[in-house]
Chains A and B, each alone.
Chain A
């Protein structure tokens, strides 16, 4: 990567490092095409308004992240929020829309419908029920946009995300968007899917057309990371040697289990999510107080060499503000001893602070 830095410097217009990265991502995700953005936030925030315009209808989960919310706001489409991961609620909304359509068939013929969900939700650490969503997609003729920032490189046997995890054909999803700032530890984001869908963004994705492209250093870093993912190197885990994704899954499970049963804190998130939340079991009543308490826990943990952070939100801007929480993130490099130590430290600190 230092070699790339020496070859290309930092500033970029368009370069074959980019073409290479787009190619590699498309091949990795087994889609026709991929497009690179220079900033993770801008990826989904530019992709949604490129397709969904004023008058179109978007069904979006309540726990969608801020970038999706901004993308939807920029698109000026009608939003219909459904309860988090509640397929019955989504179906109810879709049915209502169908009845509306029958009243006005001419308008319905030109109104596009989209369902925007995340693979692993950043705000709750839960996984979306993709098989049911695909069924609903074909029943009610809505396209699915899947945001995989957290699940890319995490779920699935080879790290291809939630579609691989469930064994769904990737062609059933119209657009997959992910940022390279989590699993790939670079900067930027990408969208992948069929050429029919992705090519449109090259002329109408605002964050793509009106912005400088990714510095080649960062693109090369992403390519290297992809190389490692494809290689799927073995890690020692207990007495087994497992691939990198299997090991990550194991470690997630371990830390989840270890953090259960802390009095005063509950774990929010599924056991296969590497980024989950620790929320107060009982809120004190005021958000400020909650935030203060959690900050105390974080500070004490920091003193004991465990780096944690509170999940930050813009309280006035979020559509559905999640409760205050500590964000816990696991990485595959951490050993089992380190994870045990972290879990026990958090337990001790929490007991000391919350009692």
Chain B
């Protein structure tokens, strides 16, 4: 029976993850050749997914890949040439140098370390670190700057580019505002409590506001208790070491954020990496961990912790949470879910990726997230069982050594969270969440129709648009700014070297008019720069044939 384009109806029962022996369905995706326009990859996995999971990563066209490598090759050659000229003082050397008195010290940087910065990054540096001077809502004001020495130094012209459409801020629910109830509440708390706390949570920096916030966060997430921290990055890097240590195993996704990687390294546990969002890879690692135990002694691992993120912000992909939870339960591992981008942005009421899949928050052992993106504030939180949070209150590095959240920031989080939950008496929260979902669907659909290669899940508000070639990174950023649209472009080393991209972050604050304007300009620039690479060959997510996963063990 041939599987139709809409579903998987095979005579044979699917194996784990929907893998079927006949090879036509792999990981629950229907590999369809001809019907390119109507591909909907529906995962049927014994009913684990209650909704369609549509994720696609179109393959890089061969010609584009070759040209990208050629581009980098040319840049590297020119880089060597310029270095040579600078060394022999034929060309003026703009970058800062070591002090005369310290010239005989061992040099602080290796020459090659900065090769990329000097010769590639510098050329298009004006696309990053653009100073803004207004609240980063749907529109933002950018300070204009110019450079007379090819980006080595900038000078502010004094002009301000007003009302640039902001497609780069993590403002998913539109709470980056300077008017409204959040702002008023925060201003009042500012008057009452001041700004600084000047102490740690365990010493004398535990305010009643913090306790109020933590109770609210626990209610919001549907967990027993929660704890809030001053910085999202630090939440990961300071709590993972408190949870796992030597003799434990961490299974971390390939594309995890730097904070998760740092936290895992600092903990001293053994780290093994599984392929991005690849459940077979994860299962194999789990199996081997249970069967073989610790590397030399063969003793069982004390703990196995799986580190995943809700939305991966560079790929726009959403974690396959139902499968991860099924695996976790089967092999008795623990799950650490980093919802930095997905909290507030996914799910019918904005409760994150757990609600998006209709799962039980109690299945996730450690729910971590940040307040920076959807709540318009700063800081991070961890939610889970009461025992876990009590343990973290005494053992987290942040609670003992790092300053607690600033009171006006806490108030901002409380007000925005209450708004999302609908507790402030308005429908504003629900509307924002719905608006974001609509914006996401619309924007992605239109971009795909135009012919761009867009990565990621259809429901993810982070939209990476592939650029590939190094010159196009700079060109895209500049052209969009000329047309009054601010975008974020990303290249190496945040992404693999040939997969540079522009990343759009959608917001509930974007109205349809704003999106249409933006889409029109993107269309124009796409034609100008020849960015419409898509051949509409939407290949299934895991095109790589299932192979023996080789994992790298890093023991620190």
Contact = CB atoms under 8 A, between A and B. Distances in A.
B195 A206 contact: no
A327 B178 contact: no
A67 B194 contact: no
B385 interface: no
A217 B195 contact: yes
Interface string A1-28: 1100111111111111011000000000
A2 B175 CA distance: 18
Contacts of B101: 138
A18 B132 CA distance: 10
Given A8-B135, A112-B108, A309-B203, A211 B233 contact: yes
A150 B133 CA distance: 32
Interface string B227-246: 00011111001100100000
A206 B258 CA distance: 7
B231 A218 contact: no
A157 interface: no
A96 interface: no
Interface residues of B, number: 79
B197 to A, nearest CB: 8
A184 B194 CA distance: 12
A110 interface: yes
A16 B234 contact: no
B131 interface: yes
B215 to A, nearest CB: 21
A207 interface: yes
Interface stretch (B82-90, B91-99, B320-328): B91-99
B165 interface: no
B418 to A, nearest CB: 15
B190 A5 contact: yes
B196 A212 contact: no
25 contacts: A5-B178, A5-B186, A10-B408, A10-B409, A11-B372, A13-B169, A19-B131, A38-B231, A39-B230, A39-B402, A40-B402, A41-B234, A41-B401, A66-B397, A66-B400, A110-B110, A143-B102, A181-B403, A187-B406, A194-B96, A195-B96, A207-B231, A313-B400, A314-B400, A317-B397
| A-B CB proximity, top 8 nearest | A185-B196, A39-B231, A196-B96, A41-B402, A11-B176, A211-B233, A9-B178, A221-B195
Contacts of A12: 136
Interface of A: 1-2, 5-16, 18-19, 32, 38-42, 45, 51, 65-67, 70, 73-74, 76, 108-113, 138, 141-143, 171, 179, 181-182, 184-187, 194-197, 199-200, 202-203, 206-207, 209-212, 214-215, 217-218, 221, 307, 309-314, 317, 327
Interface in B116-142: 117, 121, 129-136
Question: Which of B191, B401, B406 is the most central at the interface, judged by chain A CB atoms within 10 Å of its CB?
Answer: B401
A215 B377 contact: yes
B187 interface: yes
Interface stretch (B259-267, B291-299, B454-462): B259-267
A207 B378 CA distance: 14
Contacts of B133: 15-16
Contacts of B204: 307, 309
A5 B233 contact: no
B543 interface: no
B100 to A, nearest CB: 10
Most buried by A among B231, B397, B409: B231
Nearest to B201: A312
A171 B99 contact: yes
A231 B540 CA distance: 65
Contact of A143 (B105, B132, B178, B376): B105
A200 B121 CA distance: 13
